[in-house]
Amino acid sequence: MTWLRRFGAFWYDFLVGDRWELFLGPLAALVVAAVLVAGGVPGAVVGALLFAGLVAIGAASVWAATR
């Protein structure tokens, strides 16, 4: 059972690391983009919104780390 715990700890540290919002933020942005595409929003609009969302997530993370 310890190997399973170590395996999980490795993947958590590898994927999440120190900033959990940089792991969950892009996943949430991709889910929102998928819902918009399924709803019939044009791909160019969804791509622009996805880019803006990822930039906002990165900026918020930098802001939170520097304050």
In contact, 19 and 61? CB cutoff 8 Å: yes
Q: What is the pLDDT of residue 1?
A: 79
- pLDDT tens digit string along 50-64? 999 999 999 999 999
> Token digits for 26?
């892009």
**Hey, is 52 helix, strand or coil?**
helix
Q: What is the pLDDT of residue 28?
A: 95
pTM assigned to the model: 0.80
- pLDDT tens digit string along 4-37? 999 999 999 998 888 888 999 999 999 999 999 9
